[in-house]
């Protein structure tokens, strides 16, 4: 399907819409308040960074069945499924299988992996039906959130139990073995409210058989996964000012992966894990509150050891594959916000975090690798006059690998008039190495315990990556047209880039047995400049029609000594996404999602992916059935031609699905 043809079809839906049907009061009432950027509630036009908000209506209309796919609606995001129920997400390039350069939170709890730095989307015990909204901060925010808030922040906010009273049942079924069910019950008594959600999801992501024209062979890949989880949340109103909230989640799965050509790769996985979270919040007034939160999480990849054949140019043997990996995180956070005077507000807080990993195959030892991170931050907002708003702050942190780090930010906003705002911002962000980057000692050993093929060797000691970022933003609102435009022009200057360098050396096994082996080591090296533009348009000319358009342009320049030669190709020149939703009448709604990306290179384990366009369509009808609110939906994913995602063998074909949802 051609991109222009898809857009033409979308805009054809708009013809019956009359702009006068939406008043200025309706439009202004819909302007969001953001919570993530500074840990203070702020109108969108006062935010020191650009923010994209994916709300419940957008989530439902998109028809996406997996949380990472929702990031396709955000300017500048590259999204792809890799393998083993894992998604790769990149922002303005630097796109690899691990998504190491932005912070991902669920209700304030960090969920990135201390091992790779990846986000375990496949083991996240959260149903799309339980998401209230996703706030994506497009730009560095280490001044508040510290290491890993390097390019962006993704904050997933779940629904309050008061929003989920009653029962919900949602089932889906479709091609490519797509099947799933979500059951939820919400209730309460007195000052207690709670919800319990149970989910089971089955996926077979790609075509099983891949024909490789370079080899002239067909190969079978195994990517069928079944994942189930239980999630619970309890909110108790202790007083008019105090609230206690508790959450728990458990997840487990049966996954298949690997291929016939790679017998050393695990075929079967049984991952499991869970988390517990406790939060106390005291709100003395609209301008003064504080909270303390503790969380603990554990993830086990569920991969057992096995013996597989191994062969190089001149040597063959059986190897012991030791893929078992465990990860822990305990996190204590405190934050407070208050108004110091009529024009000055302050947010401040701190974090204490313990992280640990263990995996003989990855680290060459059965011992746990662990470390403690401590940080303090402060962010101030000064309304200099009616038109000028100045914001600034910094975080001071001590990381277990890189020592003390300081991340400041200064932002100045000027209101041309109540509808149009300009913003200038400068900031400094750092990204500290993960355990695997710092201490990875990964390879295959023969049954006698001797290393016969080494992939990664420990580093010689790493410094944090540094991002010195400047940006200019514009937010414009046209209530008479039901339109809002957000534009961000930026330049990120990255030093001490942390990437993989490859080396070759000669290994000898016995008399006359030798071969050239290549291994990787993580190193600091090179300077990169990322320049570009993000823009998003929200257009709601009518109560029954909405359109969200996201556009980005990016370019990466790398110095000659950059550790990864593919870095400049990791950012598509252009990414465009569009979501249109039209409530037709009689309970019917029709939506379309179009995602277009130019050619790019996925780093680490990925390949070049060609320019492609994906178009998804969804037709739904809401109705009443015996007192229940019900909805059926029919959808098509990738209505156009097949395309390849992340790897050449990951072929995403057209598939249809149906869903049925009841709320009572």
Give the pLDDT confidence score for residue 122 in this predicted structure: 84
Count H helices and E strands in the chain, helices first: 6, 44
Listed in sequence order, the residues at least 6 apart from 613 whose beta carbon sits closer than 8 Å to its beta carbon are: 1, 2, 3, 6, 594, 595, 596, 640
pLDDT of 3 above 80 = no
In sequence order, what are the beta bridge partners of 370? 356
Which comes out higher in pLDDT, residue 512 or 638?
638
Residues 6 or more apart whose CB falls under 8 angstroms from that of 418 comprise none
- What integer pLDDT is reported at residue 504 of this predicted model? 67
- For residues 487-513, give the mean pLDDT: 77
Q: Is residue 216 very low, low, confident or very high in pLDDT (cuts 50, 70, 90)?
A: confident
Mean pLDDT for the stretch of residues 69-94:
90
- Residues near 156 by beta carbon (within 8 Å), at least 6 away in sequence: 67, 104, 105, 106, 107, 126, 131, 134
H/E stretch holding 392 reads strand 388-399
CA–CA separation, 457 vs 462, rounded Å? 13
Domain 3-663 matching CATH 3.10.20.30: the answer reads: no
Average pLDDT of the segment spanning 14-43: 65
The 10s digit of each residue's pLDDT in 453-477 is 778 899 999 999 999 999 999 999 9
pLDDT averaged over the chain? Answer: 89
In this predicted structure, which of 97-101, 343-347, 492-496, 624-628 has the lowest mean pLDDT?
97-101
Residue with tokens 């969108």: 44
Q: Which residue has the higher pLDDT, 627 or 73?
A: 73
3-state secondary structure of 435: helix
Cβ atoms of 518 and 502 within 8 Å: the answer is yes
pLDDT beyond 50 at 190: yes
Task: Show Cβ contacts of residue 600 under 8 Å, excluding neighbours closer than 6 positions.
Answer: 78, 93, 95, 569, 570, 571, 572, 608, 609
pLDDT at 518 over 80: no
CB atoms within 10 A of CB 556: 20
Q: Indicate if the pLDDT at residue 328 is higher than 80.
A: yes
Identify which has the larger pLDDT, 228 or 215.
228
Judged against a pLDDT cut of 60, whether residue 482 lies above it is answered with: yes
Q: Which pLDDT score, from 0 to 100, does residue 454 have? A: 79
Q: b/e map of 519-537 (b: 16 or more CB within 10 Å)?
A: bbbbbbebbbebbbebbbb
Share above pLDDT 70 across residues of the chain, in percent, rounded to a whole number:
91
Q: Are 223 and 204 in contact (CB under 8 A)?
A: yes
How wide is the angle at C-alpha 579 spanned by C-alphas 51 and 661, nearest 5°?
A: 105
Mean pLDDT of 595-622: 93
Residue 500 pLDDT class (50, 70, 90 cuts): confident
Q: Which residue has the higher pLDDT, 484 or 448?
A: 484
Residue 245: CA count within 13 A, CB half-sphere: 20
- Are the beta carbons of 170 and 434 closer than 8 angstroms? no
**Number of neighbouring beta carbons within 10 Å of residue 172:** 20
**Token pair listed for 333:** 């956070």
DSSP E strand stretches across 432-513: 442-445, 451-457, 465-478, 483-495, 498-508
Whether residue 408 contacts residue 384, with contact meaning beta carbons closer than 8 Å, is answered with no
Q: What is the distance between the alpha carbons of residues 286 and 290, in angstroms, rounded to a whole number?
A: 11
pLDDT of residue 433: 95
- DSSP SS3 for 73: helix
In this structure, is the dihedral angle defined by the CA atoms of residues 143, 148, 151 and 157, taken in order, positive or negative? negative
Q: Which pLDDT score, from 0 to 100, does residue 372 have?
A: 97
Place of tokens 């998604």: 87
If DSSP codes are grouped into helix, strand and coil, which group holds residue 611? coil
Domain layout of the chain by residue ranges: 3-663
Q: Check pLDDT > 60 for residue 40.
A: yes
Tens of pLDDT along 362-374?
A: 998 999 999 999 9
Range of lowest pLDDT (135-139, 140-144, 540-544, 606-610): 606-610
Q: Which of 57-66, 307-316, 337-346 has the lowest mean pLDDT?
A: 307-316
Lowest mean pLDDT of 164-168, 180-184, 237-241, 513-517, name the range: 513-517
- Segment among 24-33, 230-239, 248-257, 486-495 with least mean pLDDT: 24-33
**Rounded mean pLDDT, 244-255:** 95
Rounded CA gap, 495 and 527, in Å?
5
Mean pLDDT across 612-638: 96
Smallest Cα–Cα separation from 137: which of 629, 490, 523, 505? 490
Per-residue pLDDT band at 221 (split at 50, 70, 90): confident
Tokens of 625: 């059935």
β-sheet bridge partners, residue 545: 542, 582
Check pLDDT > 50 for residue 511.
Answer: no
Note the pTM of the prediction, 2 decimals.
0.91
Least confidently predicted of 254-268, 270-284, 438-452: 254-268
Is the predicted pLDDT of residue 30 greater than 60, yes or no? no
Q: What is the pLDDT of residue 507?
A: 54
* Phi, psi dihedrals of residue 306, rounded to the nearest 5°: -155, 170
Max CA distance (Å), the chain: 85
- Predicted pLDDT of residue 15: 44
pLDDT in tens, 410-447: 999 999 999 999 999 999 999 999 999 999 998 877 77
User: Residue 510's pLDDT is what?
Assistant: 46
Mean pLDDT for 43-61 is 94
For strands 178-189 and 166-174, give the pairing: antiparallel
């Amino acid at each position: 399907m051609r991109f222009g043809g898809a857009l033409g079809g979308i805009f054809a839906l708009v013809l019956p819409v009359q702009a006068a049907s939406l008043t200025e009061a309706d439009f202004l009432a819909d302007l969001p308040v953001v919570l993530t950027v500074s840990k203070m509630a702020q109108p969108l036009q006062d935010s020191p960074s650009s923010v994209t908000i994916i709300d419940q209506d957008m989530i439902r209309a998109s028809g996406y069945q997996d949380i990472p796919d929702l990031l396709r609606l955000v300017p500048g995001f590259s999204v792809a499924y890799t393998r083993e129920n894992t998604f790769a997400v990149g922002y303005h390039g630097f796109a690899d299988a691990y998504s190491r350069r932005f912070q991902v939170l669920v209700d304030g709890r960090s969920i990135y992996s201390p091992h790779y730095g990846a986000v375990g989307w496949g083991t996240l015990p959260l149903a799309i039906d339980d998401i209230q909204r996703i706030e994506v901060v497009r730009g560095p925010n280490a001044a508040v959130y510290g290491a890993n808030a390097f390019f962006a922040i993704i904050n997933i906010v779940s629904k309050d139990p008061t929003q989920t009273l009653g029962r919900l049942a949602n089932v889906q079924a479709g091609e490519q073995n797509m099947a799933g069910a979500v059951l939820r019950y919400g209730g309460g008594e007195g000052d207690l409210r709670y919800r319990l959600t149970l989910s089971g999801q089955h996926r077979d992501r790609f075509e099983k058989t891949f024909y490789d024209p370079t080899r002239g062979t067909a190969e079978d890949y195994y990517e069928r996964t079944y994942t189930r989880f239980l999630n619970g949340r309890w909110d108790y109103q202790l007083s008019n000012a105090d609230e206690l909230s508790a959450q728990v989640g458990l997840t487990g799965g049966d996954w298949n992966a690997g291929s016939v050509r790679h017998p050393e790769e695990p075929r079967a996985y049984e991952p499991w894990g869970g988390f517990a979270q406790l939060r106390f919040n005291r709100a003395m007034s609209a301008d003064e509150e504080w909270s303390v939160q503790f969380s603990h999480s554990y993830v086990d990849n569920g991969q057992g050891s096995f013996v597989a054949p191994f062969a190089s140019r001149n040597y063959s043997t059986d190897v012991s594959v030791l893929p078992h990996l465990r990860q822990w995180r305990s996190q204590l956070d405190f934050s407070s916000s208050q108004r110091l005077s009529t024009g000055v507000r302050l947010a401040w807080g701190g974090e204490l975090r313990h992280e640990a990993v263990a995996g003989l195959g990855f680290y060459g030892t059965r011992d746990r690798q662990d470390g403690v991170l401590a940080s303090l931050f402060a962010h101030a907002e000064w309304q200099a006059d009616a038109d000028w708003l100045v914001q600034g702050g910094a975080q001071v942190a001590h990381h277990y690998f890189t020592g003390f780090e300081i991340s400041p930010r200064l932002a100045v906003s000027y209101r041309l008039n109540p509808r149009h705002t300009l913003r200038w911002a400068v900031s400094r962000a750092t990204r500290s190495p993960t355990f695997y980057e710092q201490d990875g000692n990964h390879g295959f050993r023969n049954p006698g315990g001797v290393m016969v093929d080494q992939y990664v060797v420990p580093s010689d000691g790493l410094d944090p990556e540094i991002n010195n970022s400047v940006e200019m933003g514009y937010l414009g609102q046209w209530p008479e047209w039901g339109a809002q435009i957000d534009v961000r022009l930026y330049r990120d200057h990255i030093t001490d880039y942390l990437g993989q360098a490859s080396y070759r050396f000669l290994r000898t096994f016995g008399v006359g047995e030798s071969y050239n082996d290549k291994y990787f080591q993580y190193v600091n090296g090179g300077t990169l400049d990322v320049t570009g533009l993000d823009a998003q348009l929200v257009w709601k000319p009518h109560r029954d029609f909405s359109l969200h358009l996201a556009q980005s342009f990016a370019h990466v320049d790398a110095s000659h000594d950059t550790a990864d030669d593919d870095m400049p190709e990791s950012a598509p020149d252009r990414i465009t996404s569009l979501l249109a939703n039209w409530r037709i009448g009689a309970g019917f709604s029709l939506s379309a999602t179009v995602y277009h990306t130019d050619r790019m290179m996925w780093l680490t384990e990925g390949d070049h992916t060609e320019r492609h366009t994906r178009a998804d369509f969804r037709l739904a009808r809401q109705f009443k059935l015996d007192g229940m609110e019900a909805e059926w939906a029919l959808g098509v994913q990738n209505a156009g031609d097949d395309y390849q995602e992340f790897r050449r063998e990951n072929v995403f074909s057209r598939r249809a699905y149906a869903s049925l949802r009841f709320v009572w």
